[in-house]
Amino acid sequence: MILAQLAHLASHTVNSLAFFQEGGGTVSFTLLGLWGNMGWLAKCVAIILFIESVWSLAVMIDRYLYFSAARKQSREFAPKVAGALKDSKLEEAIKIADRNKKSHLAEVVTAGLQEFRASGGAPTEDTIASAERALDRAEAIVHAKLKRGLSVLATIGATAPFVGLFGTVVGILNAFQQIATQKTSGIGAVAGGISEALVTTAFGLLVAIPAVMAFNYFTGRVESFDVEMDNSSSELIDYFIKQSHRK
């Protein structure tokens, strides 16, 4: 008898978690049920968060593919261009760089080599200084390309929780409005408003957390790429200086 009563109580509890009575109807706590129970303002918040999630996902995929291609081509480019320069084959080094246009190193080194060639190819102080300025400009341009879209991730990561919090406030206001209208209290009277609040808050965090993690990850990758470009620029300038000493 006791086991039967416990089983009945457990069954009643599960049913209570799935549905609450509200004005003679039921509120389903499935995704579609929660969507149907939301007010128009809460739905607008959910749509905004959905757009932000798709936008951040698109940026993540774009940056991952871009960084992967840059890393792969740079690993192939560095030893080849180093060998060409060691043999004093300037034109060959430029051609190798042109074949690796997705490489961040190739884009920077190409700028320095082309400026050096345009200045006559003579390793004078003016020529080396001109090549160094070209390398600095190229580094700034490539750095901007690498950071493209990361501000979107930072913005979404910072604002999505607040957008979800706005939906929470709206849901709580609806819950109090239901209590005032129906003149009743209890979980059944506020189930709809609470569900709106919980869904928008959870959705906001679900959008923000991956965006912040991806922003930190890609920012670290950009910093490592910056170090590689600085090292390549320094090595190229050192190469030009050694060439001038040989003359």
Q: Report pLDDT digits (tens) over 181-233.
A: 766 555 655 655 676 677 888 889 999 999 999 999 999 999 999 999 999 88
Q: What pLDDT sits at residue 5?
A: 41
Per-residue confidence (pLDDT) for residue 166, from 0 to 100:
86
For 118-156, the pLDDT digits (tens) are 776 666 788 888 888 989 999 999 999 999 999 999 999
Higher pLDDT pick, 56 / 177: 56
Contacts of 29 (CB under 8 A, 6+ apart): 17, 18, 19, 195
d(CA 113, CA 94): 7
Whether 157 shows a pLDDT value over 90: the answer reads yes
Residue 19 pLDDT grade (very low, low, confident, very high; cuts 50, 70, 90) = very low
Q: How confident is the model at residue 20 (pLDDT cuts 50, 70, 90)?
A: very low
pLDDT of 237 > 70? The answer is: yes
Q: What is the pTM of this model?
A: 0.75
Confidence of residue 12 (pLDDT cuts 50, 70, 90): very low
Structural domain boundaries in the chain: 39-246
